[in-house]
Structure 1
């Protein structure tokens, strides 16, 4: 788990304020997707454009459509006020497509405690911070997982995602079938310890035409779906004919 905890406010300048940046330069969320290859995840079964996105994330633009499930909407309006103040996981309640600007920043891995850590900082059209996510990876029992920490006030939340391949798509999941379960899950780390949360998330990333990807992100709380995000991802400088 990451050793980096947040303060009352996170925000896009969190790493700079707390001197957590490094001089390392990264183009993507991972340096080489082949690090995740194993039985059940063969690179040749995944669209090359998807692999390129994860290795060269800075070369892509991103828009998102955020949809809270009807039962959760009253809570979403309360949550929006809190997330705006803290400047973290600030999804808002706006409907329709919205542009997200992103920047990849090197993180001091010695202070974080994980290897080759980089942050993906995303802001919305109003300049508000949506995510400050610290990306790394770890390997256990011959499986390499994406290990993504989000600093929260005096804590952090870590999503450990297992990559899988299906019909040319990349699937990242925090919950696998019982017989294949490993380290995946969503965890909260505080000064008193680390606890597994009753949350599940799943990404399905697929190619949607020349130089375009679509990613579906769904989340469940106690087994009940409460959030859907659809990302539209496009290579920068690509002009549709």
Structure 2
């Protein structure tokens, strides 16, 4: 129950912090947020609480990368390796390293105990070690989450401890299609809306809001707020790094996160085709 009280307080604190810091930034009402919230624990068995129909699982994070064609993204110049990774993600093994930036390292180490307990956003608190993750994709029916093309991506480590549970979907506004991700948290969810654009022979996903829907939002039963967080993914084929000596179909990705404009986390991924 102490953990419950801590998390409840954290949600309230984040809500009001986000409100006062971002009161000038209005959340676009057209953003379709996921209705899926968590209980005290999330975990890889999160979906066992729902009576899901038996549907074929999706093969990847998206069915067709061409779906994102728009003013800032031309899929015809995308590396075939990156395209294959996004459409056939389940056929890749994933390894990652985390790097917590100063002065967030001590807080990250402490927070890792909480994230391990709730079995969500469960990243290691120590820097530099290579970790492996396993992926499972599940098709989510519109009756559970009405967003477009929703699928669950459940990530665990070799000991079957949960690393991340998230629901991936898309939404379109005018001529731009966004990646729309929801990670259930206790009595809320953390929703990330990402812009997509070409980056060298790969792609970049970011939450830069400007005039777009991009951003990171805390969604609760009493409302949604924009948080003072931002993130960026850069995804490239290994051929962009000739000195890596990795197979040409291998994918290298970097995930960076900021709070109040200060970088606090970098995650490096290597995805090998199995």
> Aligned match of 1:7 in 17, 21, 39?
39
> Aligned match of 1:42 in 74, 79, 84?
74
Q: What's the offset of the Cα at 1:126?
A: 3.1
Which is higher, the Rg of structure 1 or of structure 2?
2
Query: What residue in structure 2 maps to residue 239 of structure 1?
Result: none
Query: What residue in structure 2 maps to residue 76 of structure 1?
Result: 108
Q: Provide Cα deviations, 1:44-93, integer angstroms capped at 9, x if missing partner.
A: 22111111111111111100001111210111112101100110000022
Residue 96 of structure 2 is aligned to residue 58 of structure 1: no
Q: Give 1 or 2: higher strand fraction.
A: 1
Aligned length: 233
| Whole-angstrom CA distance in 1 between matches of 2:171 and 2:187 | 24
* Other structure's SS at 2:169 match: strand
**Aligned in 2, Cα 1:21/1:60: closer, same or farther, shift over 3 Å?**
farther
Q: Provide Cα deviations, 1:169-192, integer angstroms capped at 9, x if missing partner.
A: 20000115x3xx311111110011
| Whole-angstrom CA distance in 2 between matches of 1:110 and 1:132 | 19
Kindly indicate whether the alpha-carbon contact (under 8 Å) linking 1:45 and 1:167 is maintained by their aligned counterparts in 2: no
Deviates more, 1:13-22 or 1:147-156: 13-22
> Aligned match of 1:194 in 193, 204, 224?
224
Runs ≥4 in structure 1, deviation > 6 angstroms?
none
| Whole-angstrom CA distance in 2 between matches of 1:78 and 1:20 | 36
Residue 224 of structure 2 is aligned to residue 205 of structure 1: no
Q: Provide Cα deviations, 1:67-121, integer angstroms capped at 9, x if missing partner.
A: 1112101111121011001100000224321111111111232221212211110
| Whole-angstrom CA distance in 2 between matches of 1:29 and 1:103 | 11
Deviates more, 1:111-120 or 1:145-154: 111-120
TM-score (norm. length: structure 2): 0.82
Kindly indicate whether the alpha-carbon contact (under 8 Å) linking 2:110 and 2:125 is maintained by their aligned counterparts in 1: no
Q: Which runs of 5+ in 2 are unaligned?
A: 1-32, 240-247
Q: What's the offset of the Cα at 1:25?
A: 2.2
Residue 172 of structure 2 is aligned to residue 134 of structure 1: no
| Whole-angstrom CA distance in 1 between matches of 2:107 and 2:44 | 25
> Aligned match of 2:252 in 211, 214, 221?
214
Say what the alpha-carbon RMSD is for the aligned residues: 1.3
Query: What residue in structure 2 maps to residue 67 of structure 1?
Result: 99
Q: Which runs of 5+ in 1 are unaligned?
A: 237-241
Kindly indicate whether the alpha-carbon contact (under 8 Å) linking 1:172 and 1:202 is maintained by their aligned counterparts in 2: yes
Kindly indicate whether the alpha-carbon contact (under 8 Å) linking 1:45 and 1:166 is maintained by their aligned counterparts in 2: no
TM-score (norm. length: structure 1): 0.93
Matches within 5 A, 1:42-191: 42-94=74-126, 95-175=128-208, 178=210, 181-191=211-221
Kindly indicate whether the alpha-carbon contact (under 8 Å) linking 1:90 and 1:129 is maintained by their aligned counterparts in 2: yes
